[in-house]
Structure 1
Amino acid sequence: MKKLLKILLTVVIISVSVFIVRFYFDKTHPEVRFEIKDNSLTCSLKYSGLKDSVDFTKDEKDNYYIAYKNRIQIIENNGRSYDILKDLSLDIHSIDYFKNSIYYSSGDKIYCYNVNQGKNKVIINNIPNYGDYGKSVLRVKGDYIYISIGAATNSAVVGDDNQWIKDNFYAHDMTPEDITLRGINFGKYKRGAFQSYNTKSLKGQIVPQHFPGNASIIIYNIKNGSSETFAWGIRNVEGMDFNSSNGLICDIGGMENRGSRPVIGDTDYIYEIKKGMWYGWPDYSGGDPVTSPKFKSVKGSPLQFILDNHPNTNPPAPIYQHKTVGTLGTLAVDADGDLKSKDCIFFYDRSDNMIYSFSGAGLPLAEIKFENTSKISSMKIFDKSLFTLDGKKGYLYSIKRGRINMTQIVDKRIYLYSLLTAVLGIVLILKNQNS
């Protein structure tokens, strides 16, 4: 009996020792933690080791491409992983795949990398990405690449909040269409809209169009290389995807309480963006004029229009208005209804690290809660799953429809419980041996 107990004790000690080594020293062990709010969904870890990644995509062979600041990594369907592109001068933000090519945005350029040939080339240059929202989001649909270009400023006036003027003193928002100014200037230095720092605007001043322009979405024809403005008056796009009708769905950040023309009372929005439309920035937000009671300037004073002869006095309204400003991040549309209802929109809120779903009416539903040390960089739907990239911790999750019993939490606590149980077992064995 004592011999049996000694063997059992040895096995337990070895098991506990192996666990301790893996728990504390094996850095590949995923420290994954999330909480599923909807018990019709399950979440699993697809890949780990992707720390500091910014975006991802996949091809028809189930090879995944992971983008980092200055490189793109392939994870082949057999598990082999290596860099296919690396350039320290790059500042990659967004990527997508189409017909053996990876399209990606970096700084003021859009690139095409041919996977088969290993050739990398610039297809769009001189994008005005020098301001507050200088990271273009791109998505491919059919033979077109849709590319967002953010505003250079909060509300079209260069001010002391725009730290980039130290490197680009004469820069300002470039309008993609001709506009006429009312000559409204702001602050001690009479700063004008669509003008460089400390420069006045004049009543009736015409600012000529520039392509590409700020606060817009452009499209690039992959077949013939032509490009044009798709829509404008769009402050900054954080996420972009397409619904079942090929409609372009974007979440857009509202104007904030900062700068020479601060705006109080705005929020973030989700829109369906249609070709040729002006969406109101910088004189409208969420379909409402800045002169409405919804918005205030400093000390409660009313805001004024800075444009004369608006392209449209009734810009399109959003399909969803968020509760806060400056917190919406990436989004993905469940066009086929594989996880929720058809065209359900999944969006990420940076303020609470939560993924929500919105089906077109009512309030959004909380779906997945991530811990505070996570930061979701990108979401895309492939193969009936919502793939979610936590670039800060380096995990790619797969969320799909399935069954779970209760709220699912994956973390280290289960291992701690196992360790305590093993220790208790050792104590009991030693006690029996001594007695």
Structure 2
Amino acid sequence: MKRYLNPFDIYVEPDFSISVFASELNSPGSILITDNNKMYITDTGELTGEPKLLLYENGKFESIAEGFNTPITGITYRFGKIFVSHRGSITIVDENGTQKNIVQGLPCQGDFPNSNVTFRSDNRLFFGIGTATNSGVVGLDNKWVINHPYFHDKPGDNIIVFGQNFESYNYINHSKEPVLTGAFSSFGEMNFPYEQKKGTLLASGSILSCNPDGTDIQLYAWGFRNISSLNFGYYDRLFACNNGYDERGSRPIANASDDFYHVEPGVWYGWPDFSAGMPVTSPKFDTIYNQKIELLISNPPNIPPRPITTFPNGTNLKGFLVNEYREFGNIGDIFITEYGGTTIKQQYYGRKISKINTISGETTTFAMNKSGNSLYSTTGGFGRPSDLAFDTEGDLYVIDSGINNLNNSHCLLSNTGVIWKISRER
């Protein structure tokens, strides 16, 4: 399928223009532009099952490294090397394509993989790990259980759970007899009242740090659900995107926001009992199932902080970067891609680029489709924005992963990925 593209279908802030830089790409996910202006992108592998790192040379993209786990979730440049994050692993790729795994075996067999990596000014490496489940309980929505029946979420601190158990059918052995599953437990494993769950280094929903060679892994913070991206801003402030709960599974939670945080060390950020600093027992999070939501942890490590700003459920925050060019607004502002939701309820959220003032929390629209953001839009504008990067000339490049299969909003059509270029009119 050849995707229809028309930059005039996209609104951008006054004095900026947008154009198509490259098209007909397969599920591109991340973009990296080095100090010497080399451009790298990723094929996440979600369409082909063959994730790749690609280099732009002589007017086209060529694969320079393959054999990663699906999906690739980010690429970062440091020390003349490319750090590739892919499910469960972090791999260093030299510019000639030589590969070396520095981190392997991360607990990412569940719903959400590890995030991109980023570096603090002292060259300490940071990355996020997603949770196994939506809200702490393995259930019928976790299809990975068939292959990983003993996998489950683990906390970053020693916690005591209240001990609730959630009923579902036992689809592992195709039995219609119900089974009971407790929080932070394997499917079919019950919890006892006030049972202790031991904290672990490789905690679910955590941010970890390590040396650039992968040694000395340390837990930095935890209590996130799905850290899709993280980066350092000025003064070594660590920022992270966290996408909130869905209304699904054994413990559905409705109307949870997607959040942008300033992350402090040693802090618990609320998952699986809080959303944006609010307890999920609040009526705001009531579901259509009229199921009473209860807290799971009886001894929360701390009062969870509030995010810098929130976005509607289904915005699906992806990549972001810190502005370094006065022509694009305040130095230190955040440009962030909104991938968009995958349900009819969420269809009008996302599919644009926003700008966040990290001091005030004010969020404004930088670029979006003029016709709106319908899941089934056929205009020539944004499909699924997922990442962005500046080149050395101060132009902004945006990865658009593609457009949806109309019969499956989770699936992108092949060869519909695009790179857009946004320039200040000179």
TM-score by length of 2: 0.80
Among residues 198, 206, 212, which one is paired with 1:208 in the alignment?
A: 198
Residue 262 of structure 1: how far off its partner (Å): 1.2
Instruction: Give the AA of the match of 1:283.
Output: D
Is 1:400 the counterpart of 2:423? The answer is yes
Q: What's 2:175 paired with?
A: none
Letter in 1 for 2:36: K
Per-residue CA deviation, residues 111-159 of structure 1 (Å, 9 max, x unaligned), is 111225x431111111111111125332234312221111111100001
Q: Partner amino acid for 1:75?
A: Y
Aligned to 1:165, what secondary structure does the other structure show?
Answer: helix
Tell me if structure 2 keeps the 8 A contact 1:353–1:372. Answer: no
1:338-389 CA-to-partner distances (Å, cap 9, x unmatched) read 4122322222231342212222447632222244672222123343333211
Call closer, same or farther: CA 1:348–1:90 in 2, change over 3 Å: closer
Classify 1:346/1:99 alpha carbon distance in 2 versus 1 (closer, same or farther; 3 Å): same
Match 1:334 to one of 323, 344, 356 = 323
Give the deviation of 1:32 after TM superposition.
4.2
Q: Give the structure 2 partner of residue 10 of structure 1.
A: none
Q: Of 301, 321, 326, which residue of structure 2 is paired with 1:311?
A: 301
Structure 1 counterpart of 2:398, from 378, 388, 402: 388
Aligned to 2:368: 369
Bigger mean CA offset, 301-310 vs 155-164: 301-310
Give the deviation of 1:316 after TM superposition.
0.8
Q: CA deviation at 1:252?
A: 1.1
Closer, same or farther: CA 391–265 of 1 in aligned 2, 3 Å? closer
**3-state SS of 1:43 partner:** strand
Moved more, 233-242 or 31-40: 31-40
Q: 2:31 aligns with which of 56, 72, 81?
A: 56
CA distance 1:126–1:88, change in 2 (3 Å): closer
**What is the match of residue 376 of structure 2?**
none
Query: C-alpha separation between the residues in 2 aligned to 1:369 and 1:292?
Result: 32
1:283 CA drift (Å): 1.1
Helix, strand or coil: the match of 2:184? coil
What SS class does the counterpart of residue 145 from structure 2 fall into? Answer: helix
Question: Runs of 4 or more off by more than 6 Å in structure 1?
Answer: none
1:72 aligns to what? 53
For 1:105-144, list aligned pairs within 5 A: 105-116=85-96, 118-142=97-121, 143-144=123-124
Q: Distance in 2 between matches of 1:171 and 1:332?
A: 33
Offset, 1:185: 1.7
Q: Give the superposition deviation at 1:49.
A: 4.7
Distance 1:158 1:337, change over 3 A: farther
Distance 2:382 2:162 in 1: 46
Aligned ranges 1:23-422 → 2 under 5 Å: 31-33=5-7, 34-68=9-43, 69=45, 70-76=51-57, 79=59, 81-87=61-67, 91-116=71-96, 118-142=97-121, 143-187=123-167, 189-222=179-212, 225-297=215-287, 299-300=289-290, 302-312=292-302, 314-325=303-314, 327-335=316-324, 337-349=326-338, 350=340, 351-360=349-358, 361=360, 364-370=363-369, 371=380, 374-383=383-392, 384-392=394-402, 393-402=416-425
Pair 338,281 (structure 1): closer, same or farther in 2 beyond 3 Å: farther
Q: Which runs of 5+ in 1 are unaligned?
A: 1-26, 404-435
Structure-1 separation of matches of 2:135 and 2:326: 37
Distance 1:356 1:195, change over 3 A: same
Given that 1:295 and 1:302 are in contact with CA atoms closer than 8 Å, whether structure 2 keeps it comes out as: no
How far is 1:227 from its partner? Answer: 1.5
Displacement of 1:251: 1.8
Count matched residues. Answer: 374
Is 365-374 or 156-165 further displaced after alignment? 365-374
State TM-score, norm by structure 1.
0.78
Structure 2 stretches lacking a partner, 5+ long: 46-50, 169-178, 341-348, 370-379, 403-415
Bigger drift between 254-263 and 133-142 goes to 133-142
Q: Report which of the two has the higher share of helix.
A: 1
Where 1:183 maps in the other structure, the secondary structure is coil
